[in-house]
Amino acid sequence: MVYLATPAVVLWEARAGASYRCRGLAPSGMLSLLVSLRRASGSSYWRSPLAGFGFPCSMPGAVELVFAEGQAHFIVLIDLALLRRSLPADTFEALERAAATRLLPASAGSVERFAGWLNRVLQETQTHPRMLQFPEAVRSLEEDLVRQLAAAIEGQPLQLVMGSRSTRNRGLDRALSYLWSRNLLEVTLPSLCEAAAMSQRTLERAFQEAFDMTARDYLKIWRLHAVRRRLLAARKGEVQIADVAYAHGFYELGRFAAVYARMFGERPSETLSRHFPDLPDFLIQPLTAF
């Protein structure tokens, strides 16, 4: 068994070498999710064959599963508190209603893409376990898992109440003022929504209108600039690039390096090879780079 455990998420890959049945209770306070990799004939959930679409799931309560020989899947446990604070209220409520049916709806393609993402993250944490020592990287991983799951689920009827353009602009101003006044590593999307006094959906639309990007992408750009400033201020040998990336919430080193190179036109190692201990003010203000 290959697994990953954080304070709010448990993920493991399981392959059945023989048929077996599971009957018991799902963990308290967590959503349990099965993501198929290979379905074996005879595998079932609550006596129904495992389908090629959707995610068999359980809220805290009873579970009944049969895994036939050759079955391969991920099991994902997600703390309900993480889901509640990471998702808009209506999305969380829709997910709760869907989970009560024991199947989160998703297309076969969405299941495959989500499984691919889980596999990549699991491999990354096995290759670079030191990442798990950095709370910022762990938090980003947990939030991304929720985002990837939300993107995979289809058929959730949601009513969007966006508010007027002027209301969104005022909320955006409040969010940006909050961002400028706080330690970047302490800022989360829920805290931005609270500061803006707007729902996540409304705030996302405000960011799209103003910057043509999501609030999450906006925060990622801020974090990339913070990494760059840290590398520019350090002497070669003083810091490790991986540690700086992890400390700013980037947990996939290969992907981080590629995004960094696209953003700044050079690799992180090239930035580190130069040394500017007294950075000018314009480098301290990441908004100037947008």
SS (H, E, C) the chain: CEEEECCCEEEEEEECCCCEEEEEECCCCEEEEEEEEECCCCCEECCEECCCCCEEEECCCEEEEEECCCCEEEEEEEEHHHHHHHCCHHHHHHHHHHHCCCEECCCHHHHHHHHHHHHHHHHHHHHCHHHHHCHHHHHHHHHHHHHHHHHHCCCCCCCCCCCCHHHHHHHHHHHHHHHHHCCHHHCCHHHHHHHHCCCHHHHHHHHHHHHCCCHHHHHHHHHHHHHHHHHHHCCECCECHHHHHHHCCCCCHHHHHHHHHHHHCCCHHHHHCCCCCCCCHHHHCHHHHC
pLDDT at 123: 93
Neighbours of 83 (CB within 10 A): 21
Point out the residues of the chain with pLDDT beneath 70: 1, 52, 154-166, 275-290
pLDDT at 154: 66
Residue where one domain finishes, among candidates 212, 229, 247: 212
pLDDT at 284: 37
Cα 150 to Cα 91: distance, rounded to the nearest angstrom: 8
Q: Output the domain CATH number for residue 243.
A: 1.10.10
Cα 126 to Cα 49: distance, rounded to the nearest angstrom: 32
The structure tokens listed for 74 are 């991920």
3-state secondary structure of 78: strand
Tens-digit pLDDT profile for residues 24-76: 777 888 999 999 888 888 888 887 888 767 899 888 877 788 888 988 899 99
Q: In what order do the strands lie in the sheet with 48-49?
A: 20-25, 62-67, 44-45, 48-49
Q: Are residues 182 and 281 in the same domain?
A: no
Q: Are residues 123 and 246 in the same domain?
A: no
Q: Are residues 238 and 266 in the same domain?
A: yes
Domain count, the chain: 3
pLDDT at 30: 92
Question: Is 157 a member of any domain?
Answer: no
Question: Is 9 a member of any domain?
Answer: yes
Q: Are residues 223 and 129 in the same domain?
A: no
Question: Is 158 a member of any domain?
Answer: no
Domain of residue 258 covers 217-289
Contact 127, 253 (CB under 8 A): no
CA–CA distance from 137 to each of 58, 188, 201, 202, 217 (Å)? Answer: 27, 13, 24, 26, 16
Question: Is 237 a member of any domain?
Answer: yes
3-state secondary structure of 248: coil
pTM: 0.78
Q: Are residues 35 and 126 in the same domain?
A: yes
Question: Is 242 a member of any domain?
Answer: yes
Question: Is 160 a member of any domain?
Answer: no
Q: Are residues 221 and 281 in the same domain?
A: yes
Contact 185, 248 (CB under 8 A): yes
Q: Are residues 199 and 227 in the same domain?
A: no
Residue where one domain finishes, among candidates 152, 175, 194: 152
Question: Is 170 a member of any domain?
Answer: yes
pLDDT at 163: 47
Question: Is 159 a member of any domain?
Answer: no
pLDDT at 95: 85
Cα 142 to Cα 85: distance, rounded to the nearest angstrom: 12
Cα 112 to Cα 229: distance, rounded to the nearest angstrom: 38
